[in-house]
Chains A and B, each alone.
Chain A
């Protein structure tokens, strides 16, 4: 994944820092509570929400269970419609492919190479902007929030509203000082009214859209039977990037497939309501290959794995691949609300990040190994998830895996970790306590007692106690 996040402190430390930032906390709280309440209203409008949710889950499960078949079918459909399909096993390869495609268009051969981009988690995940920059290609983000983040040399903190951690005054200051370095300067006397700030972004980006030769996007869905790509958005920058350039490159995770055209009817009802709490988002673009005299003449689809097949191999963890990136789970998460998106150390924050990131990039680093513990397992994320991902189940499962594979001390439930830290400082207690625990392992309750116990449901079993004493295990696995 992106190098942007290397060197991030582990979750507890990063979260601790975020909690001390009052502005961030206030912004986040306001934002998450606002969307949360609106979402509940939008969902309540549909009597068949339960059935839609179940259908969404089943469509994704079916697709994943035959993913090889649908990938091949998608490739055939896209190719037949005039597109070109590329496959990238890892981030570096995807970046290489995109950079070469941009150069092959001849874009900027005589001057500066540039591309316009519509917000895409996949391209953030692979660190595409940085990779393009290293190749001398400027990638302009065109979502208002992404623009704020890019101009502020910042990192996104929310899937849907990446600049949720910035207030209007900060945004005005960023626009005033930074826009002129990238193109059209902010208007004279720009105030902090959201309407004026949006207008400044419109003017700043319009010249880039009009001259753009290459657009880069992700996709929310890809339809295997037709080769149709779907991008769901609000601002119209997506339409600009998908329509005006001569070449369009879409970078999409292999899990974004749905088998049939009809399947879209489920997600087009559940995604907007879960995401922006709207009956429908302002703009949805669907395109199939290329069309004569309408939109780009060349369409390239770059399919990326980058850890997804590892995730698929895990019977419990693979449900994370059902995710449609609506961000509803972030907005209800008490940990996210307090810790903020940056604490998760990846482009995927919140509950989904806590289960997706450690699976996509492994748990070798401290931040990734600590992510499965970034939860109180309260289950609110599962309740709102439009594809019914049992995030608490995956979290518990990943804790077991972290423990099995000797992550640096993150093998127990959050409360237990603190206890373990204290115990490690008191070797006598550790030795005695662990031995007792190991001996009585069979007698330990499978359900949690103690801190957080009331939060657990009956279906969630405790990670099993290790067969050997913790301290012996620790010694063996620490190095």
Chain B
């Protein structure tokens, strides 16, 4: 055990290194690792964790999982829509019109048909050419996603085709995200992890941005897009009773 009042050296005893390749920084590295090893000297390695928790809390039924995603997205104030693929162009056009959007950011690889029902100005981001200021002056953005998690009401973007780089879905004030129910929804977080590629930049989005910093009153929309539309693309048979648009106003 060490003394609880180990003296701390002042700045004079430490380096001003800025690179791990300089000798002085190496010494801090060695010092920290040395202290860790000293602290653990007689310590056996603690066992690997027992993973007694569940892989999912939801019945393995696509309809139940889809409904749960819908419900949880709406519960956190995303505006949720269901549509068949063929209905998407007109739905997207309606949503953009409803927000009075004059411009929409378009990520590389977005299916052209998604915007085929609207004439709003498209701002393509091939080669990441849009500056933060360009994006700030763009009204909306439309993307697909990598995955959606029903139990937490989460959509996950990984920068793949039709999703764009992270700034694209951050700066414009309206985000329309399209989720393919057939193959992009999992029930739970443990089911999501193996389907994600950690080498890609990932953004997990669960409803629009929010703060409760003022007297714990929840306010939706601080810095991210203040409006999040999620469109669940379903087969005709899967629209069920929950068809149409629901969610927080």
Interface residues, chain A, CB within 8 Å of chain B? 27, 30-31, 34-35, 45-48, 51-52, 54-55, 58-59, 61-62, 64-68, 71-72, 75, 81, 84-93, 96-97, 100-101, 104, 142-145, 148, 161-164, 167-168, 171, 194-195, 197-198, 201-202, 205-206, 209-211, 223, 226, 228, 234-237, 239-240, 242-244, 254, 261-266, 268-269, 272, 276, 278-288, 291, 293-295, 303, 305, 307, 309-310, 312-315, 318, 358-359, 361-364, 398, 401-402, 405
**What are the 10 A-B residue pairs with the smallest beta carbon separation, nearest first?**
A236-B224, A236-B223, A309-B35, A313-B39, A58-B49, A280-B152, A294-B165, A93-B14, A362-B5, A236-B209
Q: Pick the most buried of B46, B199, B210, B214: most chain A CB atoms within 10 A of its CB.
A: B214
A163 partner residues in chain B, CB cutoff 8 A: 213-214
Distance (Å) between the CB of B56 and the closest chain A CB?
A: 10
Contact B170 A239 (CB under 8 A): yes
Contact B14 A92 (CB under 8 A): yes
Contact B201 A295 (CB under 8 A): yes
Contact A161 B213 (CB under 8 A): yes
B19 within 8 A of A: yes
Contact A313 B2 (CB under 8 A): yes
Contact B19 A405 (CB under 8 A): no
Contact B127 A283 (CB under 8 A): no
Find residues 161-216 in chain B having any chain A CB closer than 8 Å to their own CB. Answer: 165-167, 170-171, 189-190, 192-194, 198-216
A88→B15 CA distance, assembly (Å): 9
A362 partner residues in chain B, CB cutoff 8 A: 3-8
Contact B214 A144 (CB under 8 A): yes
Find residues 215-229 in chain B having any chain A CB closer than 8 Å to their own CB. Answer: 215-217, 219, 221-224
Q: Which residue of A lies closest to B222 (CB)?
A: A235
Distance (Å) between the CB of B177 and the closest chain A CB?
A: 13
Contact B20 A294 (CB under 8 A): no
B159 partner residues in chain A, CB cutoff 8 A: 291, 294
Find residues 34-71 in chain B having any chain A CB closer than 8 Å to their own CB. Answer: 35-40, 43-54, 57
B25 within 8 A of A: yes
B216 partner residues in chain A, CB cutoff 8 A: 30-31, 34-35, 161, 164
Contact B19 A86 (CB under 8 A): yes
Contact B14 A68 (CB under 8 A): no
New A-B pairs, 10, CB < 8 Å, besides A239-B166, A280-B149: A27-B215, A54-B50, A58-B47, A71-B33, A86-B19, A202-B221, A235-B224, A283-B224, A288-B198, A401-B4
Q: Pick the most buried of B72, B207, B224: most chain A CB atoms within 10 A of its CB.
A: B224
Name the one of B32, B166, B222 contacting A201, with C-beta atoms under 8 angstroms: B222
User: What number of B residues sit within 8 Å (CB to CB) of A?
Assistant: 91
Q: Which residue of A lies closest to B225 (CB)?
A: A236
Contact A167 B35 (CB under 8 A): no
A432→B60 CA distance, assembly (Å): 72
A7→B225 CA distance, assembly (Å): 43
Contact B206 A279 (CB under 8 A): yes
Contact A313 B215 (CB under 8 A): no
Distance (Å) between the CB of B224 and the closest chain A CB?
A: 3
Q: Which of B88-96, B97-105, B128-136, B239-247 contacts A (4 or more CB under 8 A)?
A: B128-136
Distance (Å) between the CB of B59 and the closest chain A CB?
A: 13
Distance (Å) between the CB of A201 and the closest chain B CB?
A: 7
B194 partner residues in chain A, CB cutoff 8 A: 262
Name the one of B54, B154, B190 contacting A47, with C-beta atoms under 8 angstroms: B54
B224 partner residues in chain A, CB cutoff 8 A: 235-236, 239, 282-283
A315→B57 CA distance, assembly (Å): 36
Q: Which residue of B lies closest to A91 (CB)?
A: B8
Name the one of A64, A87, A405 contacting B46, with C-beta atoms under 8 angstroms: A64
